[in-house]
Amino acid sequence: MFKRILSVLRGEKADAATIASSGPAEARHPQTANGELITVYDAYGREMKIPRGEWREKVFLPNLKEKWNNAAELYSQIISGLNNGFAADLMTAAARLVEIDDVPERCYTIQGIVQMKNGQIDAAEATLRAGMAKAGETGTLLTNLAKVFAERGDETRAYEILWRAVRADPNQDNGLLWWVAVQREHGGEEAYLQALRTVAALPGSWRAQLWLARHHLEHKDVEAALALYAQVLEGGMSDGSALMMISGDLGNNGQVPLILELVGPAYDERKHDPMTGLNLLRACQQLGKVDEGEALLARMYPLGIAPIKHHLDQFAQAFQEMRNQAVQSTPVDPDGLQISTVVLNQPIWHYGLRDANWLFTQKPEDAEEVGFFALSKIVDGSERAESQREDDLGRLTRAIPLYLAEATHYWSDYAANCYIQIVEGAGPVVTGGETDGNALFEIVPSRMKYFVTGQIGRSGKAIRLNGRCL
C-alpha cells in the first residue's frame, strides 16, 4: 500500500518535485500517450512535436555533453532526462554531478533518484546516506531514502523515515503529500485533515496551511481560507509555488477578485512561478482589468520563457479586443472638419527611405497614369459621421488601393498614384456609400488614363468588395 500511494503521487513527474533547489529544467514536458513524441518549444514559444529517438540523439545527449562541466546546467539536463524517460542515459552524468557540484543535497539526491530509476536500490541507499553525511538529514534526502525502503516493501521503515523527512522540512511538497496520503488511506478524510493540522503546527510550516485552505475553499468557508493565506503571506517563508497554488485555488473556487487582491501585490515575476502570472492575467481578463493586465504582460514578456509565450500573446490579443470594445465612438460635425487629399506617387514604403530615388528605376515623365482611391464603406441604412478607433475594415479601405498601386507601379508601364483623404490633425477618412466618380475628375490630373474606386463592407463574417474603373 505504501508503495502504491507513492506511485500515485509520483505520476509522470519523475520525482523532480523531490529534488532540492530545482532549477529551470530544460525538459519540455511529457511525451504523448504512446511515448513516441516529445513536446518542445522554439525561441518564439511555438510548440513542436519531435520523435523521442530524434530528440535523444540530436538534442538531449549533445546538450548533456555540452553542460558536463557546469553543475547547475548539468543538473537541469538530468532533470530533463528524467522527465522524458531517459534515466538509462543518466548514470554517468549523475556521477559526474556528484564530482563537480558544491551543493551536496542536490547532487546526491539526483544521483539517488537516477539509481532508483535504473533499479539500483542498494546503490541509491548508499548514495543518499553519503549525501546525509555531508548535508545532514534534510527533508529531500530523507524522503528519497523512504522511497528506497518503499521499493523494498519495508513499509514500517519507510513510514518512520518519511515522518523524519516531514519534521525536517514540513514544506517539501513530495514528502508532505506522501505523508498525508498515507494518513488518508488509513483513516479517511478526517485523518487526512488532522495530518495537515499536525504538520501545520511544526515550526516554519506553510505548505500544509495551503492544503487546509484549499479544503476550506472547497467547502465554501472562504474566511477560514483567507486567514490561512494571510498567515502564509505575512510569514514571508513560502517559496514561489505558494502563490501559484493560492491563485489557482481561488480561481477554481470562484474567488477571482481575491486573486488580484491577495496575490497581485506579492507577485514578483523574476522569482515566482510564471503560472502565477498566467493566473493573474486570467483574473484581469475575467474582471475586465485591462490596464492591470497589460502592465503585467509588459513585465512578463521580457522573461523570455518560451513555453508560455503563446499564452501571453493570447492574453495580449484578448486585452486589445476588450479595449477596442470599450471605446465609444464620438459623433462629429462633417462641416467642421478640414479634409484634404494626400497623393502618394510611389509605393508607400519608399517614403521611409528618405527620397532614395537613386535606388529605384523611375517612371518616364510621359508615362500614362493610373489613380487608385481609398475605398468607401458599404453602409446599410443611415450612419452618422463619427470619430472612432481604427478597425480592420478601415485599414482595408487604404491597404487594398495601396497594394494595387504598388503592383501597378512594378508590374506595368503605368505610373500609379494613390489618393487618401485625411482629416487634418486627426487621421484618415472612411467615407460611406458609393463614391461619385464624376467628382473625382476635379482631383486627378488631366493626363490620368484611368482611376479606380470601390466599396468594401461586411456580410456576416465575410468581407464584400465592389470596384470600378473610370
Q: Domain for residue 327, yes or no? A: no
- Residue 432 DSSP one-character state: B
Ramachandran region of residue 14, left (φ > 0), alpha (ψ -120 to 50) or beta? left
What stretches of 393-459 adopt beta strand conformation (E)?
415-423, 448-459
* CA dihedral for 189, 195, 196, 197, sign (positive or negative): positive
Among candidate residues 322, 347, 369, the one where a domain is terminated: 322
Domain identity same for 309 and 363: no
Q: Which residues on neighbouring strands pair with residue 373, listed in sequence order?
A: 419
Choosing from 301, 322, 343, the residue where a domain stops is: 322
Q: Are strands 376-377 and 448-459 parallel, antiparallel or unpaired?
A: parallel
470 residues of the chain, pLDDT tens digit each: 556 666 656 553 444 334 443 332 333 343 333 357 877 776 666 777 888 888 889 889 999 999 999 999 999 999 989 988 899 999 999 999 999 999 999 999 999 999 999 999 999 999 999 999 999 999 999 999 999 999 999 999 999 999 999 999 999 999 999 999 999 998 999 999 999 999 999 999 999 999 999 999 999 999 999 999 999 998 877 788 899 999 999 999 999 999 999 999 999 999 899 999 999 999 999 999 999 999 999 999 999 888 888 899 999 999 998 887 776 556 666 667 788 888 988 888 887 776 667 777 788 888 889 999 999 888 766 666 666 767 788 889 999 999 999 999 999 999 999 999 888 877 888 888 777 777 777 777 777 888 898 888 876 666 666 666 66
- Quick count: other Cβ atoms within 10 Å of Cβ 26? 17
> Looking at the structure, do residues 285 and 380 belong to the same domain, yes or no?
no
CA distance 75 to 58: 19
Single-letter code of the amino acid located at 333: D
Residues 234 and 266 in one domain: yes
Q: How far is CA 285 from the centre of its chain?
A: 14
Q: Which domain holds residue 449?
A: 332-469
Choose one of 322, 344, 376: the last residue of a domain.
Answer: 322
- Tell me, yes or no, whether 89 and 159 share the same domain: yes
Model-level pTM?
Answer: 0.64
Between CA 68 and CA 74 the distance in angstroms is: 6
User: Considering the domain boundaries, does residue 101 fall inside one?
Assistant: yes
Tell me: do 22 and 137 sit in the same domain: yes
Q: Which residue has the cell 528618405?
A: 354
